[in-house]
């Protein structure tokens, strides 16, 4: 029998009409790149798009030619363009025609080892197929597709494939250890790059193109300013290990609009470094506007964490659809991270057929709790640690008009006893799920005009939590 928690449902009220501890969101303007009018075409440099001719030198020469002219547009015609990594110079737009497919080589040695950031820390990894460091005014536009040839790099877990798929994969070469397949050159699995890695760059535009089949994460702007992503398709196989869609890390002023994600890990992910190094760098991800995006597959639709040691603030996500993701809205961290996450606004979100939780807060990500509940509903008796710079803090989170049709669990909060989730307001929302809301270690939680419908269990359970129902 269905059980309901009904607070006079009202759907479509303005996001910022919150009482009590009101926090407002004002998105600053995001500057677009300025590209000079100079134009060169890739075929000007003696290559053809036959899928066989290696075009690495042609891309390099074209970039340097444009750079010597003060910048401009590099046009890539229709065809299959086979290449090594493309390194961007400032003031350059890479424009791809309809029917242009850029396929990156699986030649391991074509990608030099460089110092970059991955999973929140400085790391030595292979150069990304699309790479820029300390550049400004860079753009990738048009309607072409960038294929990262990820199958040459990624490990694959047996549990993510059918028996027939696993059999075909293992017969293709490589090696198997503990039910994980590795490529022929095993080192690929441990230093594989993200597909697009722009670090310390300013005024970035990604528009209308497709990024697919990445070796690790797909799109990774890191410590950048003024990032615009519009009308982009970001795709990975659903079994792709570390196959995130967008990891926006420690960026200031970003706009992600009308973009579609179908990936193997978290889809839209906000990050800012990990543990001591993330706190030392101290670059929050801030002033981010996300609108009109669709997620078809992913571990989470919209995600903050798990690397957020530099903090995150002033982020709004609106008018988005999550269809069949493992979780819908996902916050995650753990002791040792530190970092302040605040002023997060979500409104007009539609979710359907969510595999696990529609909305989840896990502050025991990849860890077991001390003094509280674990995500697997176990408990620990150890003493609660003191609050330090290593204690993550989440506060001032506001949700309005969140609708979910189908989930295993509607809401799950698991805060820290020493630092509960603080000041979260949800209004005008509907959840239809197998089980209801489970809220632990949270304070100043307000549900106003919220309806939760469940097929079993209690609609709302709580432990060490302050929940107001209006």
SS3 190: helix
pLDDT attached to residue 23: 75
275 with 186, same domain: the answer is no
CA separation for the pair 385, 370 (Å, rounded): 8
User: Residue 336: inside a domain, yes or no?
Assistant: yes
pLDDT of residue 12: 31
Residues 171 and 279 in one domain: no
Nearest to 434 by CA among 356, 331, 324: 356
- pLDDT confidence tier of residue 374, bands split at 50, 70 and 90: low
What is the tens place of the pLDDT at every residue in 278-321? 999 999 999 999 999 999 989 999 999 889 999 999 999 999 99
- By percentage, how much of the chain surpasses pLDDT 90? 85
Q: How far is CA 21 from CA 59, 343, 423, in A?
A: 53, 11, 7
DSSP string, 115-177: EEEETTEEEEEEPPSEEEES-EEEEEEES-EEE--GGGT--EEGGGS-HHHHHHHHHTSSEEE
8 A C-beta contact, residue 160 and residue 94: no
Q: Which residues are catalytic?
A: 265, 299
Q: What is the pLDDT of residues 241-257, one digit of tens each?
A: 899 999 999 999 999 99
Q: For the residues of 257-322, what is the DSSP string, one character each?
A: ES-EEE-SS-SEEEE---HHHHHHH---EEEEEEES-EEEE-SEEEEE-SS-TT-EEEEEEEEEEE
Whole-Å CA distances, 180 to 156, 244, 320: 6, 19, 34
- Given a contact cutoff of 8 angstroms between Cβ atoms, the answer to whether 62 and 46 are in contact is no
Task: Please give the residue range of the domain that contains residue 450.
Answer: 1-30+266-470
Residue 455 lies in a domain: yes
Q: What integer pLDDT is reported at residue 4 of this predicted model?
A: 43
Same domain (yes/no): 324, 419: yes
Q: What is the pLDDT of residue 20?
A: 44
Same domain, 186 and 270: no
pLDDT at 375 (0 to 100): 59
> What global pTM score does this model have?
0.93
| pLDDT confidence bin for 7, thresholds 50/70/90 | very low
Q: What is the pLDDT of residue 420?
A: 96
Q: Are residues 423 and 283 in the same domain?
A: yes
Q: Could you tell me if 306 and 331 are in contact, meaning their C-beta atoms sit under 8 angstroms apart? A: no
Do 412 and 327 belong together in one domain? yes
Range 31-39 average pLDDT: 98
The domain total for the chain is 2
Kindly state whether residue 87 falls inside one of the protein's structural domains.
Answer: no
175 and 276 in a single domain? The answer is no
175 and 301 in a common domain: no
Is the same domain home to 270 and 178? no
| Predicted local distance difference test score (pLDDT) of residue 381 | 46
**Do 305 and 445 belong to one domain?**
yes
Question: For residue 117, what pLDDT is reported?
Answer: 85
Residue 378: other Cβ atoms inside 10 A? 9
Task: Count Cβ atoms below 10 Å from residue 407 Cβ, excluding itself.
Answer: 26
Taking 50 as the threshold, does the pLDDT of residue 125 lie above it?
A: yes
Q: Per-residue confidence at 11, pLDDT binned at 50, 70, 90?
A: very low
Q: How far apart are CA 418 and CA 444, in angstroms?
A: 15
Tell me the pLDDT band of 365, cut-offs 50, 70 and 90. Answer: confident
Quick one: what percent of the chain has pLDDT higher than 70?
92
Same domain, 168 and 298: no
Span 9-35, mean pLDDT?
A: 65
Q: Is residue 331 part of a domain?
A: yes
Residue at 276 is within a domain? yes
pLDDT at 311: 97
pLDDT in tens, 397-444: 999 999 999 999 999 999 999 999 999 999 999 999 999 999 999 999
Buried residues in 27-39 as b, exposed as e (16+ CB within 10 A): eeebbebebeebe
Task: Work out the pLDDT band at 367, boundaries 50, 70, 90.
Answer: low
Residues 160 and 281 in one domain: no
Q: What is the DSSP string of 226-240?
A: EEEEES-EEE--TT-
Q: What integer pLDDT is reported at residue 5 of this predicted model?
A: 41
CB 73 within 8 A of CB 16: no
Considering only residues 172 and 198, tell me which one the structure prediction assigns the higher pLDDT.
198
User: pLDDT value at position 376?
Assistant: 52
HSE-CB at 181 with a 13 A cutoff on CA atoms is 24
Task: Answer yes or no: is 254 within a domain.
Answer: no
Q: Give the H or E element holding residue 188.
A: helix 188-191
| 231 within domain boundaries | no
CATH number at 336 reads 2.160.20.10
Q: In the predicted model, is pLDDT for residue 6 greater than 60?
A: no
Is the pLDDT assigned to residue 2 strictly greater than 80?
A: no
Least confident of 17-31, 167-181, 221-235: 17-31
pLDDT value at 13 more than 60 = no
176 has a pLDDT exceeding 80: yes
Q: Pick from 207, 204, 232, 196: which is nearest to 95 by CA?
A: 207
- Segment of 5-9, 160-164, 229-233 carrying the highest mean pLDDT: 229-233
pLDDT at 21: 60
Please answer whether residues 37 and 208 qualify as being in contact, where contact means their C-beta atoms are separated by less than 8 angstroms. Answer: no
Provide the pLDDT for residue 185. Answer: 84
Q: Is residue 5 part of a domain?
A: yes
């Amino acid at each position: 029998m269905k059980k309901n928690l009904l607070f006079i449902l009202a759907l479509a009220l303005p996001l910022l009409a919150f009482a009590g501890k009101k926090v407002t969101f004002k998105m600053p303007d995001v500057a677009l790149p300025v590209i000079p009018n100079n134009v060169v075409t890739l075929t000007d440099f003696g290559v053809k798009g036959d899928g066989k001719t290696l075009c690495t030198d042609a891309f390099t020469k074209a970039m340097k030619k444009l750079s010597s002219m003060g910048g401009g547009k590099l046009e890539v015609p229709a065809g299959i363009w086979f290449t090594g990594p493309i390194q961007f110079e400032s003031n350059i737009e890479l424009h791809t025609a309809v029917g242009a497919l850029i396929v990156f080589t699986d030649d391991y040695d074509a990608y030099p080892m460089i110092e970059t950031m991955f999973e929140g820390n400085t790391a030595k990894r292979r150069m990304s197929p699309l790479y820029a460091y300390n550049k400004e005014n860079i753009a990738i536009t048009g309607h072409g597709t960038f294929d990262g040839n990820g199958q040459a790099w990624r490990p694959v877990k047996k549990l993510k494939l059918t028996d027939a798929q696993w059999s075909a994969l293992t017969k293709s070469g490589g090696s198997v250890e503990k039910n994980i397949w590795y490529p022929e050159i095993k080192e690929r699995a441990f230093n594989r790059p993200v597909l697009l890695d722009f670090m310390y760059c300013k005024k970035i535009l990604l528009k209308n193109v497709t990024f697919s089949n990445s070796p690790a994460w797909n799109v990774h702007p890191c410590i950048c300013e003024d990032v615009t992503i519009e009308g982009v398709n970001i795709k990975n196989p659903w079994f792709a290990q570390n196959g995130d869609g967008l990891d926006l890390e420690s960026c200031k002023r970003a706009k992600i609009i009308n973009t579609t994600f179908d990936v193997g890990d978290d889809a839209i992910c906000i990050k800012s470094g990990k543990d001591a190094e993330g706190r030392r760098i101290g670059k929050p991800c801030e002033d981010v506007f996300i609108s009109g995006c669709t997620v078809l597959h992913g571990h989470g639709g919209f995600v903050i964490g798990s690397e957020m040691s530099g903090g995150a603030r002033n982020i709004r996500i609106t008018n988005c659809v999550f269809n069949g993701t493992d979780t819908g809205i996902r916050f995650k961290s753990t002791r040792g991270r530190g970092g302040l996450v605040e002023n997060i606004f979500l409104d007009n979100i539609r979710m359907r057929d969510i595999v696990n939780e529609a909305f989840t807060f896990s502050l025991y990500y990849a860890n077991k709790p001390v003094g509280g509940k674990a995500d697997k509903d176990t408990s620990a008796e150890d003493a609660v640690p003191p609050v330090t710079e290593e204690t993550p803090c989440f506060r001032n989170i506001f949700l309005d008009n969140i609708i979910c049709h189908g989930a295993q669990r509607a809401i799950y909060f698991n805060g820290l006893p020493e630092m509960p989730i603080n000041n979260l307001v949800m209004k005008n929302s509907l959840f239809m799920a197998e089980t209801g809301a489970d809220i632990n270690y949270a304070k100043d939680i307000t549900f106003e005009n919220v309806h939760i419908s469940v097929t079993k269990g209690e609609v709302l359970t709580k432990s060490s939590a302050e929940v107001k129902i209006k």
